[in-house]
Amino acid sequence: MNLLAQVFAHLAPEKTVRYMLDTLRERAGLERRSITLPGGLQYVYLEGGRGEPLMLLHGFGGNKDNFNTIARHLTPHYRVIVPDHIGFGESAKPMEADYSTDAQAERLLALAQALGAPALHLGGNSMGGHIALAFAARYPQAVKSLWLLAPGGVWSAPLSELAQMVKAGGDNPLLVRSAEDLARTLAFTVARLPEVPMPYIQVMAKERIANHALEQRVYQQIKADPIEDRARTVKAPSLIVWGEEDRVLHPGAGPILQGLMPQAELIRMPGVGHLPMIERPQECAADYLKFRARVPA
């Protein structure tokens, strides 16, 4: 980071973070939009590009901007839709809602239909992949293909480092109560963390800190929601991607999931942690484009 950027980071961190996000969205060809569904829930989402619809689902604690970098490689080919899940980001956050994967899938189907995409290609990272699998099992006619980036829900896999920590009674490194917590979370989820100035982290942490109580509730519901039985029913062509240095979800879940799904391919990425689309966006996108070229129209 050059000296001028460091000065802006310290003098106006919120404006700088907003400028950076706006720039990434613009480069990706994405625009921020919102919609209120008939039941009253508001989704905030990013959308851009043309072609067949591709909906991308962020993971636990993430938001729609997790896909900004990779989206610039996707919008030239597809209509990309990236929502904040209900409970996260700028979307509605009803405390007492059902946050199981089936409940989130039902909401996302309503969103897709409202956006004129009753049948789409679906991708998701971590919790987003977990929800994508639930969606495909529940609404097979609405899913043309799946892109699963270290998806959750394969609870029969070996315990990850995170699972071992939680089982031993330690703090969950995905839950954030301070800027320092978020810094540790970022270091835990990626294999190679670039330098991120603390003022940026303090700005990004505000959303997570405010959402801490709800995230605790969501985490418990997700962990009680195995996906293996439903994955066996998914017939859609599927690309599974897993970083070999994933500490959040054990990479051993990849072969298990592939074995359950009749049309699944698996890519293991050396030197990558839990967020392949952020850590290796160009490579990850290239692999996806090759996969899509093999998916029947």
Which residues are catalytic, by number? 58, 126
Give the other-Cβ count within 10 Å of 100's Cβ. Answer: 16
For the chain, report the end-to-end CA distance as a whole number of angstroms: 44
Distance separating alpha carbons of residues 190 and 178, to the nearest angstrom: 19
Burial class (CB in 10 A: 0-12, 13-18, 19+), 265: middle
Return the DSSP state at 142: G
Q: Which residues pair with 121 in a beta bridge?
A: 54, 145
Residue with tokens 């066996």: 232
Q: Which of 148, 143, 83, 147 is nearest to 119 (CA)?
A: 143
